Structure 1
Amino acid sequence: MKYDLNRLSSAVRLALCAGIFSVAGAAQAQATTPDNPEPTGQTALPSKKDAKTLQSVVVTGSLIKRVDVETASPVVTLDRSTLTNSGKPVLGDVLQQLPSISGNATNPQNNSNGGGVASPLLEAGDGASRVSLRGLGINRTLVLVDGQRMSNPDINLIPPDMIERVDVLAEGASTVYGSDAIGGVVNFILRKNYKGAQFSLNDGISSHGDAKRHGFNLTAGTTGDRYSIAAGLDYNKYDETLAARRRFSRQQLYLSSGAVVPAGSSSIPTGRIQVPASIAAQYGCAVNSSGTSQVTLASGDGSALGDYRCRLASDTYNYAALNYIQTAQKRTNGFVLGSFNITDNVTAFVDAFYNHTVSSGQDAPSPVGTGDGLIISSSNPINPFGITFSQNPVAGDPNSGYNFQTRLTGAGTRVHSYTTNTGQVNAGLRGAFGQSSSWIWDASINYSHTKRDQRDTNEVDIPALQAAVDGGANIFNQADPSVGSLLSQGVKTPIYVFTQSTKQAQVDASGELWDLPAGAMQLSVGALYRKQFMNYTVSDFAVLNPVTTTCQILQEACGSPGRGSFDVKEIFAETLIPLLSDKPWARSLNIDLGVRSSNYSTTGTTTNGKVAIEWRPTDDLLVRGTVSQVFRAPNLNELYDGRTLVQPNLNDPCVGLSAAELAAHPVACQYVPVNWAGNSPAQVNTFYSGAATVGAKLKPEKGKSIDMGLVYDPDWLPGLSTSLDFWHIYLSDTLTAIQADTVVGSCFNNSASPYCSFIHREDNTSRQPGQVFLINTPVVNLGNLSTSGIDYTLRYKLPHFNLGSIDPGNFRAALNTSYTSTYNVNATPGQPGARTINYAGTFTPQFGNIARWRGTVTLNWDKGNWNAQWQSRYINHLTALNADAAISGVNIPVASVIYHSFQLGYAVPSIHTRFDIGVDNIFDKQPPLLYQNGSNYNVDTATYDVLGRYYWARATVKF
């Protein structure tokens, strides 16, 4: 393209300035030393002479190689200094603070959700951090390493020292990268031509004296005339932190009937013991309508009736105190980056990294009782009551069927331990079609593999626990250590192993087609083949029985194996057409067209295109816009997850109907008797699963992404850059697990509904005909979602000035904000009563934190060997929907939050060493309370800091 040098210099300066600054902070400049001639993290602005020698590069969001890095795609870049200034040893802690990221996402503050969860990839407690751009969820954000997708999108797995920068594109990019790039992409760009060696030590601790972390990294590299190689090793360790260490999380809080109530579980170690009125009378306990009451152990060993008293409402167990607000984790990373020029026109390359993570979450000891199948016979010597405790009456025993519930503290806490191994290799050849040709080519193969081994210690094994109780383990007296030793024979450690791999081969080529009056028309074309595979195994005794809805251990830890794969073949092309150049009010006008056709073995073929416009009416102003089609093919979990038990309440439309009304709904209300009273109990068994598990079919989510914006880089104020972008993303046929109410309601209103086959009721041979004993609730295509908003950035590097004879140094400032105007969801379009809800400015368990405003302000300073950074991060106030546990529809306000952090660095050139110290959350800001309703530890751990003020330090030596 025929840019004049003024415009090229302006464009490059703006692009590089955007790389210096980011939402995470403006770039820090390191001191100039013989080993570090340019400030690390700050690229020197090129002169007009330098601009002539710049080589074209592929920018995130496009397949075209270009010199002008500022394109139609609004990319936010975090360079190395931004990453290091944060003081964070893992990348997730930096990325998740971007204003464009919101909603639900996992991070090391998420403790645990137990075994056998719905999606085996998304275990809390595994130390992972995942990204949710635009609040659209982690499945709609694509994570790349040098443009190659990661099979496991946990960004904490990536060795930070192998990353040169991070590009974040918060708009749909399906034509460039394929499926999943709906909210956008996060592209980790690898370091190139690294030379030298560097060793760094880091340490940190909270102001509460906990949450310790420490680690080190070593990186070395060398380059020659024909080769480049760099390698590194990284280790970091985070200590676990108990929720009891913070006031807001030391006990679970409920908002009930307008009052905040500290609460706990009624499953207590001293027992919740149901006894008949004849026994309750000796304690003076009130008797309920069923003629029974509840007692609990007061003192003694529980062998005599005198050891018990009436159970009070205040007799609860504080399970929250044993959870972690920071999971325990250790990570070891290694990487190798290399290239070799085979000829002048052909280069071989390999990029490889490996991560080994050990992490763990913790839950309180298991609640267990007769509802889980445990029986304590009246003849058992440990039982002083003379009655049998069992879920149902025992034949031949008239004094049976009484409930018993306890907390198995004698067996210890439940620890969910994870060992995750991830490796990724991208290797291939790249080259040119000759010195005189503009065309270049690339052929690569990519392989990635993740294996996560999850072990849940101290899960109750009902048969083993029954044997221990029958053998004399006094479950009434868990305070006795000898009893605990016996009860520990009643627990097991189920193992859940999740494996996922990706194999890909890709070829592409790009270059100039022909010259037009405004410049050269460029084209990039390519094709790829990718195969993805998953396998999820569960210990035999933990496999869910779909008939009984139980397994050998407690129901909460039951899981189901899943296995499956798919392959995709894609062809893609993108062309950049210069329409005008060096015209009045059109210094340049380009159109960018892209198309990608994707054929999935599971869902067929989908073709998507994009149109992008870049218009520079003057040298200082870029007007840009992109309209692209986006899609997301169902992933392996959504297709092949095994069954997981969920037990929601069902609003059954078949309750209380006449014979004529039942006849009008023969499928949905099959076997339901006239004037039926409804399910008893109200909770019904539902099986979440992938679609293929129940024989259902899925299709891709599809929609549009629109982005329009301005970039202004005025010549009259050097160092200033500002941008304004409007974005809108719309999706239909969203992939989601259907709810039981939706299944039954859809079938009730349409006997031909495909969901009718998901309903299973007891037939006329049962004692409870019409009772729902199972509803399949798999992943289906159902729902529409759209979101829109505005991003604004302002970056300014102040001109250097002196205060008399004093040189105050160099100053830079950055503002980055994102405003969410709408987040509209219609969960059941086409269904009776369906409506669209705008979740912008709200918190819900389903969609998480969709605060309208998020932003950061960052100030940087450097002088000589010194540098400093101050950053403020803002999250707007919002409304927590349906927050009252006792009153439906009650919403509560959630306050806005501002976090401040500070970093100070000093370089000692004589010993090639740099020292950095920092404080995060300087003013020890506490997270706003959301209580029990849909949040961990009474707060939103995906959004707010839970550790409080945190101190860190780092020393870096260069060789």
Structure 2
Amino acid sequence: MTYNKGRTFKAGLLGSTASVLAAMALTTSVAYAQDSQNADAEFEEVVVTGSRIPRKDLIANSPVNVISAEEINVGAFVEVDRVLDGLPQTASSNGPTTNNPGNGQANVNLRNLGTARTLVLLNGRRMVGTGANGVVDLNNIPPALIKQVEVVTGGASAVYGSDAMAGVVNFILKDDFEGVQVNGQYGLSQEGDSERYNVDFTLGGNFADGRGNVVIYGNYLKRAQTLAGDRDFAAVQLDEFSDDNGNPIFLPGGSSSIPQGRFSGSGGFNFLVDDNGNPVAYDGSQHAYNFAPVNNLQLPLDRVAVTAIGNYQLTDGINMFAEMSYTNNRIEAQLAATPFSEANVDIDLRNPYMSQSLRNLFATRDDDGDNIVQLTINRRMLEAGPRLNIDNNKMHRYVVGFNGDLSNGMNWEVFYNYGKAEQTQRQDGNIVISRFKAGLLVDPDDPTQCLNPVNGCVVINPFGEGNMTEEMINYLKIAATNVTMVSQQQVGATIAGSIMELPAGDLGFAAGVEYRKERAETQPDTFLATGDVDGFNAGLPTKGDYDVKEIYLETVVPILSGVAGAQYLGIEAGVRFSDYSTAGGVTSYKIGGEWRPIDDLKFRGLYQRAVRAPNVNELFLGASNSFPGATDFCNATSTRTAAERAFCLQLGVPADQIDTFQQQDAQIEVLLGGNPDLFEETSTTWSVGAVLTPEAVPGLTVTADYYSIIVDDAIATFGGGLQSTMDACQAALDINDPFCQVLTTRRTDGQLEKVPLFNQNIAKFTAKGVDFSVAYNFDALGGNFDIKMLGTRFLEAITQGSPIVDEQDCVGLIGVRTVCGRANPEWAFTTRLTYTIEDFSASIRHRYIDSVTDERVAFGTRDAADTLVPVIPSVNYFDLGLRYRLSENIALFTNVDNLFDKKAPIFGRGVAGQLNTDAGTYDVVGRRFTFGFRANF
């Protein structure tokens, strides 16, 4: 591994390139899978995602799933992430129903290997990421302008470069539209909420006697807010307790930061303040704050988008093309009021708002008689209202280039691609820590005034619910504004086609050069940068950039054709060398082939080595805080050993609390940040499969592919996360062990805080399984039936957070804020059946999610008998779509999603901070109706 920031690339590359991606002319009404391979007679040469070499056989050696514009129309999809929901290869990620974590952006996560390991292309060229992590927000893709989506799963770095470790999603837009099309739709849930309004128009036409074409597209989408309090299953935060007989039971739970104010210290001192100002012993099972109802269940979104695409044939062999797109997404996340939670806070006993009984209690801790006591305060600031995080995301993208054909049949392209994303984030509801502390210290001569009147200090009253006045809140509360700027430049050239005729067919060849520069900068608000806030996560500025110069070659070599036992036999290979200004030189490659013993059957296989260089966020992220769930092994439990007890004293748990010590909250504050010494991730991917298109059953295509992806040196937080760091330290029990050193960041009461977990090349991921698909189109009952089924059987989903922890296979499991995270079902498949007769069509989509087991039960850390929901049963969702062509120009449609109103399974505190369930996997809104029209002129 070479780390060399300023090295000059010896080959003198021009820069980046991407292939000219022609659309596949799929003739079925829903094109999820590959079409028939009678390509010589029916198709011109095209480029299929996964290779840059034009070919007539549309069934590539890399398994490619295709989603057509017809599928988008049938599903009435106005959010692109919902278009991809039907692919079993995509795992759930943060989206419109994941409020914490999540910011309303829509991402794609192939093979559950992380959104940063899936490359998103638009017309075969890179999209600019929305944040410093380079991850693309799918809200910037115009759904009504999509001609089709091609999804390649498995490493594709040799073809497309970094980030394509799990695969590539290529959105191909309409670039030859003629006429006017207007679409409008309105949707709402069965409860009368979760509304969606969408309207878009497409205008296109030819000019200059057909030598040119221009397409202009506009869209407005409004998605309404839905609160968790609007659904019974999410309105109350549920925690798992034991009843009098020791059986698990769900009871209302929540946060230990409560509106009444909780004051705690060493020696078991732990009190809240009742409505009369008197101290009451805190009982977590009775007094926890229900933060659920004011959280978003569906995040509101306002989107305005404009796209223009043009091309003009300058000469018979040269064509000019250009693309322009602009999107403005306004997304609002909402959380419960700020949980002010600070240790070692000085409280003045002369505070005029303190009751005498409370003063007497606090005075027992005033050992030096100075009227100042030091305690930990946990108070939910209801008077300040909910926390709002309003993101305005603007994306600009411009592409210009030339392509054409050479006299020898080769084609070429050069282009420049520029993208810029601007995110302005406004936070409301943050509480300034220093001001809160200042408001607790009073002037001894006039206790109604602050000891230090700076910043207009106001003496505050945190003693009891609702006691903060408007004047106090105005002093404590601030709105913060953070700004993120991301830019991407890509320029390149490519040449591809057939370079000679071999006895078995054309020798395919592609070569190209690319140059790309990525730059990102995040400037947090001053209060956030200094860490002087409670509310949203604080963080330091992030700023960095890198560039990469690349060269690649690809070839397809036919070996046999038209002989007994080999209607076709050929191999393909590709290699890419990339020189990063940060990670140095890296190489990715692929080799594979296909064998068609008879016309009806094709075998295919591919071996690939992919790489992913660290992004700006991973390299240069300024320290920020997060609150993952974890269990401190220092907790005084019956299973804690004497050695662990003694070691926890070394870590900083006070001796007078060691025998009663319990962590206060399930979530513990950690510090995350970048590491400029990171190097590239690598993955080894191979797949082998078969495609059956029996001539005896016209219209039938069956595919099956086994895949294996192993990612080494994966970039992850130190130790693989907080819980695995704790596990490693628990195994070592050595204060000099690096995994133990980070656990010494404790308050005086022994509670962990600000645990430093900065990025490292430390993790390993494995994904293995079998993909299968069936597509069948036939005529019956006076109309046409079209059936498409896509499925996956997951065999391995292994996570190893660091080399010092055991591998954990998450297939069939769901996490509780620890290893596995969201649901990882063994089986997942989607089937759509469409029947069309004359001007009417009806379509039903079935999505199946297999049952999943609580990871704690699977890993043996909890007995199934002691777990209220050890297994979440399998879930079936059905979506219905009806369309009727009213006239030649106007069609009406209606859709019912979640037709049978399948409720989200309740899973207690759920995963990844979600409300009682896995909101990224299961439907939390319920049955939804959509009504709309499409008009063409």
- TM-score in terms of structure 2 length: 0.84
Q: Structure 1, residues 148-185: CA drift from partner, whole Å, max 9, x if none?
A: 12222111211112211000111211111111112111
Partner of 1:690 in structure 2?
Answer: 674
Secondary structure at the aligned position of 1:733 is classed as: strand
Alignment of structure 1 residues 184-223 onto 2, 5 Å: 184-223=167-206
Aligned residues of 2:651 and 2:735 also touching (Cα < 8 A): no
Q: Structure 1, residues 419-461: CA drift from partner, whole Å, max 9, x if none?
A: 1011222211111223xx2111100111111111112101111
Q: CA RMSD in A?
A: 3.9
2:121 to 144, 167, 182: 144
Structure 1 residues 513, 320: closer, same or farther in 2, change over 3 A?
Answer: same
Aligned residues of 2:29 and 2:71 also touching (Cα < 8 A): no
Partner of 2:258 in structure 1?
Answer: 268
Structure 1 residues 852, 767: closer, same or farther in 2, change over 3 A?
Answer: closer
Q: Structure 1, residues 757-778: CA drift from partner, whole Å, max 9, x if none?
A: 9947989xx999x999976421
Partner of 2:98 in structure 1?
Answer: 110
Structure 1 residues 884, 296: closer, same or farther in 2, change over 3 A?
Answer: farther
Letter matched to residue 229 of structure 2: A
2:841 to 848, 867, 877: 867
Partner of 1:897 in structure 2?
Answer: 875
Letter matched to residue 172 of structure 1: G
2:694 to 687, 691, 714: 714
Name stretches of at least 5 consecutive residues in structure 2 with no aligned partner. Answer: 1-21, 130-135, 243-247, 441-449, 451-457
How far residue 255 of structure 1 moved from its aligned partner, in angstroms, is 2.2
How far residue 840 of structure 1 moved from its aligned partner, in angstroms, is 0.8
How far residue 678 of structure 1 moved from its aligned partner, in angstroms, is 12
Distance 1:650 1:352 in 2: 52
Structure 1 residues 948, 79: closer, same or farther in 2, change over 3 A?
Answer: same
Secondary structure at the aligned position of 1:201 is classed as: strand
Structure 1 residues 855, 619: closer, same or farther in 2, change over 3 A?
Answer: same
Distance 1:66 1:924 in 2: 45
Partner of 1:510 in structure 2?
Answer: 496
How far residue 556 of structure 1 moved from its aligned partner, in angstroms, is 5.3
Distance 1:913 1:377 in 2: 75
1:249 to 230, 234, 240: 234
Aligned residues of 2:234 and 2:293 also touching (Cα < 8 A): yes
Partner of 1:279 in structure 2?
Answer: none
Aligned residues of 2:236 and 2:293 also touching (Cα < 8 A): yes
Partner of 1:98 in structure 2?
Answer: 87
Letter matched to residue 266 of structure 1: S
How far residue 296 of structure 1 moved from its aligned partner, in angstroms, is 2.8
Alignment of structure 1 residues 839-854 onto 2, 5 Å: 839-844=810-815, 845=817, 846-847=819-820, 848-854=822-828
Partner of 1:327 in structure 2?
Answer: 299
How far residue 298 of structure 1 moved from its aligned partner, in angstroms, is 2.9
1:594 to 559, 568, 574: 574
Distance 2:764 2:589 in 1: 21
More deviation, 648-657/173-182: 648-657
How far residue 389 of structure 1 moved from its aligned partner, in angstroms, is 6.4
Partner of 1:946 in structure 2?
Answer: 924
Secondary structure at the aligned position of 1:542 is classed as: helix
Query: Residue 524 in 1 paired to residue 496 in 2?
Result: no
Distance 2:68 2:472 in 1: 57
- TM-score in terms of structure 1 length: 0.83
Alignment of structure 1 residues 878-893 onto 2, 5 Å: 878-882=852-856, 888=862, 892-893=870-871
How far residue 565 of structure 1 moved from its aligned partner, in angstroms, is 0.9
Secondary structure at the aligned position of 1:161 is classed as: helix
Partner of 1:228 in structure 2?
Answer: 213
Question: Sequence identity, in percent?
Answer: 27
Partner of 1:666 in structure 2?
Answer: none
Distance 2:24 2:121 in 1: 24
Alignment of structure 1 residues 319-468 onto 2, 5 Å: 319-368=291-340, 371=343, 373=345, 375=347, 377-381=349-353, 383-384=355-356, 385-386=358-359, 396-397=369-370, 400-401=373-374, 404-434=377-407, 437-465=408-436
Distance 1:188 1:406 in 2: 48
Letter matched to residue 131 of structure 1: V
Alignment of structure 1 residues 742-757 onto 2, 5 Å: 756=738
Letter matched to residue 20 of structure 1: V
Secondary structure at the aligned position of 1:882 is classed as: helix
Distance 2:717 2:505 in 1: 50
Secondary structure at the aligned position of 1:705 is classed as: strand
Secondary structure at the aligned position of 1:320 is classed as: coil
2:893 to 901, 908, 916: 916
Distance 2:725 2:859 in 1: 25
Distance 2:502 2:900 in 1: 59
Structure 1 residues 591, 760: closer, same or farther in 2, change over 3 A?
Answer: closer
Aligned residues of 2:797 and 2:811 also touching (Cα < 8 A): yes
Name stretches of at least 5 consecutive residues in structure 1 with no aligned partner. Answer: 1-11, 27-42, 114-123, 276-287, 545-550, 663-668, 802-807
Distance 2:395 2:587 in 1: 32
More deviation, 572-581/680-689: 680-689
How far residue 717 of structure 1 moved from its aligned partner, in angstroms, is 1.1
Distance 2:860 2:154 in 1: 40
Query: Residue 584 in 1 paired to residue 564 in 2?
Result: yes
Partner of 1:238 in structure 2?
Answer: 223
Partner of 1:9 in structure 2?
Answer: none
Partner of 1:315 in structure 2?
Answer: 287
Q: Structure 1, residues 817-837: CA drift from partner, whole Å, max 9, x if none?
A: 1110112233333x3xx4222
Structure 1 residues 485, 888: closer, same or farther in 2, change over 3 A?
Answer: farther
Aligned residues of 2:344 and 2:376 also touching (Cα < 8 A): no
Secondary structure at the aligned position of 2:823 is classed as: strand
Aligned residues of 1:704 and 1:730 also touching (Cα < 8 A): yes
Secondary structure at the aligned position of 1:924 is classed as: coil
Size of the aligned set, in residue pairs, is: 864
How far residue 629 of structure 1 moved from its aligned partner, in angstroms, is 0.9
Q: Structure 1, residues 852-904: CA drift from partner, whole Å, max 9, x if none?
A: 10011211011111111011110000112127999757661111000001011
2:610 to 606, 624, 630: 630
Aligned residues of 2:347 and 2:373 also touching (Cα < 8 A): no
Aligned residues of 1:231 and 1:337 also touching (Cα < 8 A): yes
Distance 1:110 1:785 in 2: 24
Alignment of structure 1 residues 13-24 onto 2, 5 Å: 16=26, 20-22=30-32
2:527 to 525, 541, 548: 541
Structure 1 residues 784, 726: closer, same or farther in 2, change over 3 A?
Answer: same
Secondary structure at the aligned position of 1:342 is classed as: strand
Structure 1 residues 208, 745: closer, same or farther in 2, change over 3 A?
Answer: closer
Aligned residues of 2:810 and 2:855 also touching (Cα < 8 A): no
Aligned residues of 2:345 and 2:376 also touching (Cα < 8 A): no
Aligned residues of 2:877 and 2:899 also touching (Cα < 8 A): yes
How far residue 316 of structure 1 moved from its aligned partner, in angstroms, is 3.3
Letter matched to residue 832 of structure 2: T
Structure 1 residues 775, 403: closer, same or farther in 2, change over 3 A?
Answer: closer
Query: Residue 56 in 1 paired to residue 21 in 2?
Result: no
Partner of 1:174 in structure 2?
Answer: 157
Q: Structure 1, residues 480-523: CA drift from partner, whole Å, max 9, x if none?
A: 7x824542331111222222111111111012222111112111
How far residue 645 of structure 1 moved from its aligned partner, in angstroms, is 3.4
How far residue 359 of structure 1 moved from its aligned partner, in angstroms, is 0.7
Partner of 1:35 in structure 2?
Answer: none
Aligned residues of 2:275 and 2:465 also touching (Cα < 8 A): no
Query: Residue 809 in 1 paired to residue 783 in 2?
Result: yes
